[in-house]
Amino acid sequence: TGQYRACNVWYRGFTLFLTFLFYTSYHLSRKPISIVKSELHKNCSTLIRPPNLNGTDNETWCDWAPFDQDNYQTLFGAVDNSFLVAYAIGMFFSGIFGERVPLRYYLTTGMLLSGLFTCLFGLGFYWNIHSIWYYAFVQAMNGLVQTTGWPAVVACVGNWFGKGKRGFIMGVWNSHTSVGNILGSLIAGIFVSSAWGMSFIVPGIIIASTGILCFFFLVEKPEDVDCSPPHNGCPYCLDFYELSLKDRVLYKGPFLFLLSLCYIILQGVMEFSLCLLFAKLVSYTFLYWLPLYISNVAHFDSKEAGDMSTLFDVGGIVGGVVAGLVSDQTGGRASTCCVMLIVAAPMLFLYNHIGQHSLATTIGMLLVCGALVNGPYALITTAVSADLGTHESLRGNSRALSTVTAIIDGTGSIGAALGPLLAGLISPTGWNNVFFMLITADILACLVSF
């Protein structure tokens, strides 16, 4: 009816906006560490040393211990992986909790705790903490609580939207990842050279504030406000609620649900999970190491390198939208991912070899690489997850969307943890070797997407 249609349109738009805002804040709070790295360890011999400073080491007097050591890249990798390994492990359980806890409470708690741990990392600057174990522990705890975000926001959007042309909508919506990275880089860049602790504290306050916003304003599903639930292919039609009582009991039976879920996993989840593992390996290596790479190779200062790295995420926004639009028109999610990944491999090679020759080349290559790397990543984590989670064999069981999303993103998060770890171990041997690793992962992602 017209009443249901108006009800759905308003709340769907509002839910899309809120969940976009929420996950933007999640990524905004993850980004500062990549900006601050080049401030925690830099070439102090080029700076004027204060006359009242004790010590004789002209190379590390301006560095922040313990990152003033020769193995600073390994230490950075350890801090990154404290977050990413905890995130990868937690993601496999997050979907289970997300199915059983109200999404509004789940997201609110996650964002408040994430704000707390993000601020604690920054307070290490003001409390003069120089223990690697402190920073690793704070990052690990932050990684665990950040797993509340993705399965919950995808499940919430899935509650409001039918299947339809979801690739384009999800492509636009998934730009929250890149928008969050861009805002996180710019905010961290404001404070990085003067008081790097604020590079974490400000994003921590922002994500905690959005958690409060979530508690008061998020509407989890249409039924909560007397709107009609979406139907696959018809956003205003009834679906599960049109079934008879007998069919409802049958479809909600645990055995049939598990059987259907296993069928979906065998049919598509595993191949896309493996594809996302390698795609995220590439994407998260750029997320955590690109500013330091630009600083080392192009010799930019911390703020300039951080600002320049945002172009990769600008390209990612375009890539996600284009991937969603093309997959909607062609009906081929896998083929869209495969084509973009094939083109990405030579582009990564070219960026490493000619990307720093001029400012125009750097800008162009960052935009292109960002689009080709983040396009498939965005498509898999949104439209593909939603398609599989609302597959007809699951008969409207909304729990499946959170579970399937957690399986896919949890597997992808293993790659997200491996990428920065391998970059930290390989980068002392030369940045060329890091890019060979990224190109190899990109090719593997393409192969498993067939």
Confidence at residue 23, expressed as pLDDT on a 0 to 100 scale: 95
Confidence at residue 155, expressed as pLDDT on a 0 to 100 scale: 80
Q: In angstroms, what CA-CA distances link 319 with 47, 167, 310, 447?
A: 40, 12, 14, 20
Residue owning tokens 């969603």: 324
CA nearest neighbour of 125 among 230, 198, 70: 198
Distance of CA 207 to the CA centre of its chain: 15
Question: In sequence order, what DSSP letters do the residues of 248-268 get, joined into one string?
Answer: HHHHT-HHHHHHHHHHHIIII
Task: Give domain limits for the chain.
Answer: 1-42+69-226+267-449
Which of helix, strand or coil describes residue 129?
coil
Classified by CATH at the fold level, domain 1-42+69-226+267-449 comes out as: Growth Hormone; Chain: A; (1.20.1250)
Confidence at residue 450, expressed as pLDDT on a 0 to 100 scale: 64
Residue owning tokens 């007998």: 246
pTM for this predicted structure: 0.79
The kind and range of the H/E element at 77 are helix 72-100
End-to-end CA distance of the chain: 42
φ and ψ at residue 341, rounded to 5 degrees: -70, -35
Peptide bond into 222 cis (omega under 30): no
- One-letter amino acid at 38 equals S
pLDDT in tens for each of the 450 residues of the chain?
A: 455 555 667 888 899 999 999 999 999 999 999 999 988 988 676 666 666 666 555 667 788 889 988 888 889 989 998 999 999 888 878 877 777 788 899 999 999 999 999 999 999 999 999 999 999 999 999 999 999 998 888 788 878 875 555 556 777 787 898 899 999 999 999 999 889 999 999 999 999 999 999 999 999 888 888 877 776 544 333 333 333 333 333 334 444 444 444 544 445 567 777 888 898 899 999 988 999 898 888 888 888 888 999 999 999 999 988 888 888 788 777 788 889 999 999 999 999 988 878 888 999 999 999 999 988 887 777 655 555 544 454 444 555 556 666 677 778 888 888 998 899 889 889 999 999 999 999 999 888 866
- 229 touches 242 (CB < 8 A): no
Crossing angle for the helix pair 399-426 and 72-100, to the nearest 10 degrees: 180
DSSP for residue 449: T
Q: Which residues contact 90 (CB under 8 A, 6 or more apart)?
A: 143, 144, 147
**Alpha-helix residue ranges (DSSP H) falling in 127-197:** 132-146, 149-160, 166-173, 176-191
Please tell me the distance from the alpha carbon of residue 273 to that of residue 48, in angstroms, as a whole number: 50
Q: Which residues contact 176 (CB under 8 A, 6 or more apart)?
A: 19, 20, 21, 23, 24, 27
Rg of the chain over Cα atoms, rounded to whole angstroms, equals 22
Confidence at residue 301, expressed as pLDDT on a 0 to 100 scale: 82
Residue owning tokens 């790397």: 373
